[in-house]
Amino acid sequence: MAKRRKPSGPSTAPVHGECAYRIVLESYPDGLLVISGKGAVQFFNRAACELLGMSLRPGLSLQDQAGWCESLQQLPQAPNGTRVIRVRRAA
């Protein structure tokens, strides 16, 4: 029986579920943040850290960060209180 060779180069295997979404969100050029109703960071991508000049981590409370509390209150929110924030790069 002949051995099958693994293809070289990038994988062509499909990526499913959360992994696929995470890859798309991490490669997105604009910053993305998901903030809970209590002001805690639930998700962020690398671009959000770069554009905001902040070191973000899951669970970080933005309630204590200067200016964030007032800004968060002005954003639309989902019924569970979650807000999604997009930070755009300058043109």
Using 50 as the pLDDT threshold, list the residues of the chain that sit under it: none
pTM (two decimals): 0.62
pLDDT at 63: 66
pLDDT at 18: 79
**At residue 24, what are phi and psi to the nearest 5 degrees?**
-65, -45
pLDDT at 12: 56
pLDDT at 68: 63
pLDDT at 4: 63
Q: Look at residues 84, 40, 30 and name the one whose alpha carbon lies nearest to residue 60.
A: 40
pLDDT at 82: 86
Cβ distance 39 to 63 under 8 Å? Answer: yes
| β-bridge mates for residue 85, sequence order | 33
What is the number of alpha carbons within 13 Å of residue 69 lying toward its C-beta?
A: 5
